[in-house]
Structure 1
């Protein structure tokens, strides 16, 4: 049986709290609700030291998302947070120029 990818909120709870706040501030209520249930499929993998982006859906690299895609730039206190959304589903969380994400301490 294949194991499900972890929820982003379990891996980076502070990030998800911030995303919810910023999305609500931008009037993106549906996305603020949806971000609680996105799964961390993988890291960006670009190797740039300023990038901590998260893939939340399988998607072939270098390929456009196609119809229904929109970009949702947010206004965090530092760096950049940008969501790629396709038909209301968060596909990618772009995290650039921000302090390192912290994982919760496991007991």
Structure 2
């Protein structure tokens, strides 16, 4: 797969976490255009050229990782796991009844 730097991942999460983007994703049946816009914004910030599908796949993987850590940490007896993006992902996903 494609390697994302920590800074690039943080930038993607920041763009994706924006309230306007979240509102668009909530109402969209097909969200590839929204992710294409996120890719464009990342490119404008000077990160490696990405396309919408790469951004969408990355967000999907970040959500899976977030959920696996959340599940682990919610089970008693498990040692807590940490992840550099947990807090920022939790700010977006922790308060949402649905996932995007």
Same fold (TM over 0.5): no
Larger strand proportion of the pair: 1
| TM-score normalised by the chain length of structure 2 | 0.31
Q: Which structure has more helix as a fraction of its residues?
A: 2
